[in-house]
Chains A and B, each alone.
Chain A
Amino acid sequence: MSFLAAVEASAFFTWLRESDSIGAFPTVLMLHTLGVMALGGACAALDLRILGIGLGIPLASLRRLFPIMWASFSLNLVTGIMLFCAYATSLAVMPMFFIKLALVGAGVATIVVLQRGVRHDPTAPAPTALRTVAAASLIIWTAVIMAGRLLAYIE
């Protein structure tokens, strides 16, 4: 805990948290939202196709979405760590924060599975196992957004 307190009190994260500049905390927060929009959105479009919306779209053609998803995830990893460090001691004692982390882990796991499934299956209807993962993925990323929103409102 003293380590987290030291990180939080460091010059950079103090600036990030307390600066009046919109280039500080607001911009990092905005980029974190941009990341979840692109990641969750691209994943939702893929999930819908796997669940049977727009069966004419070859699954393999949607592999273009994965670089976007991974880039967005990287953005959110970096901005997420920055946001955490700015409020480390308070976030580290919030159950909701760890629920969100667990959900993000599960969401990333679904993307890994979907990426394998899309590579191996270029034809129309997706196998049941892949459809189950797609449904789970939709629910998990929605829950991530919900947990993220709630972090701003609960203590």
Chain B
Amino acid sequence: MSLVNPFGNPSDVVHLHLLLNHIPTIGSIVGVGVFLVGLLRREQPMRTAALEVLFLVALATVPAYVTGGGAIAVVEHAEGTSREALGAHRDAAFVAFTVMQVTGAAAWLALWMFRRRLPAAGPVSLAAGTLAVITLALMGNVANIGGEIRHPEIGAAVAVPFPGIDAAALANSVVSHLWVWPALETLHFVGMSLSFGVLLVMNIHLLGLMPGTPFLTVHRLLPWGMLGVMLNVATGMLFFSGNIQQYMENPAFHWKVVLLVLAGLNYLYLTVVEDDWVSDSAGRIRPITRALAVSSLAVWIGILYFGRMLPYLRGVLTS
């Protein structure tokens, strides 16, 4: 049943990581560049575009990080691998990933505030731009160390910016403490419910079932859904980092990450959506809006399905 596995064999994960790992650095450069130009030219559409880029880069960093975890298992014992560079790359990636997600969250918040014409949107977008510069520096270092893993001839210095942070040890402490795992799982379930509940209201609106209620009123609930998503990205990445091999061997997890990226795109759509995208000039809701509303909820049911069934699907999907 290899048809149901997006990656046929483990080395595909390495190829995919080598493809995706360019997005956090190059994407951040594009995001910061557009942001600075928008700032200098005082053009709002440009600032919005920069924030959208930063959010999308943070989203793409999730599969980049996850495939990196899978790649470690493949190259760890391969000949010519620098074990020292590999460990440093992993720990630096853990920090950079975390800061990238905070940057993405700040960029998202600024987008949400700009959509609502809130005066604080300017300062929040400046914070997002500043965070993006820090992310870029961290990601550049991660990429630099990453190159050393298989290409020691480059001779780049393996600089460990936060020597105290050991991603594997941190994740192990999550897995091995009696109460930490169930507590994080509870948060993971709460985050999921929060996100689904908010999307339920927004999509009921987009289906035209809340006549007379302006879209921007339900748009007000969106940060609570995003809070749920951020909670789940944080707890989910701790689960993942503690059991990388177990997750990467399981096609259900790969599908879950694919659906998570779609869910992120849906959040961006709901954040910046304009009235004329939703309905035509006569006020009729467009078929594409209805399709997006239904698929938004279907994606979350899929995320729940692959998450909850993860331990049981492993044998079925890989046999």
Q: Which residues of A contact B (CB under 8 A)?
A: 22, 26-27, 29-30, 33-34, 36-38, 40-45, 48-49, 53-54, 56-58, 61-62, 64-65, 68, 141-142, 145-146, 148-150, 152-153
Give B171-198 as 1s and 0s: 1 = Cβ < 8 Å from A's Cβ atoms: 0000000000110011001101111111
The answer, yes or no, to whether B209 is at the interface (CB within 8 Å) is yes
Q: Which residues of B contact A152 (CB under 8 A)?
A: 182
Q: For chain B, give the interface size range.
A: 35 or more
Interface class of chain A by DSSP: helix
Known: A34-B304, A145-B193. A62 touches B216 (CB 8 A): no
Cβ of B213 and Cβ of A26 under 8 Å apart?
no
Interface class of chain B by DSSP: helix
Known: A30-B305, A33-B304, A53-B224. A68 touches B312 (CB 8 A): no
9 new A-B contacts at CB < 8 Å, known A38-B196, A57-B221? A33-B304, A42-B197, A45-B221, A53-B220, A57-B201, A62-B201, A145-B186, A145-B193, A149-B185
Q: Which residues of A contact B198 (CB under 8 A)?
A: 41, 45
Q: Which residues of B contact A (CB under 8 A)?
A: 181-182, 185-186, 189-190, 192-198, 200-201, 204, 209-210, 212-214, 216-218, 220-221, 224, 300-301, 304-305, 308-309, 312-313, 316
Cβ of B220 and Cβ of A57 under 8 Å apart?
yes
Cβ of B220 and Cβ of A41 under 8 Å apart?
no
Known: A37-B192, A43-B197, A45-B197. A64 touches B204 (CB 8 A): yes
Question: What are 17 sample pairs from A and B whose C-beta atoms fall under 8 A apart?
Answer: A22-B309, A29-B308, A37-B193, A37-B196, A38-B200, A40-B193, A43-B197, A44-B224, A45-B197, A45-B198, A45-B224, A53-B221, A54-B221, A64-B209, A65-B204, A149-B186, A153-B181
Q: Which residues of A contact B221 (CB under 8 A)?
A: 45, 48-49, 53-54, 57
Q: Which residue of A lies closest to B224 (CB)?
A: A48
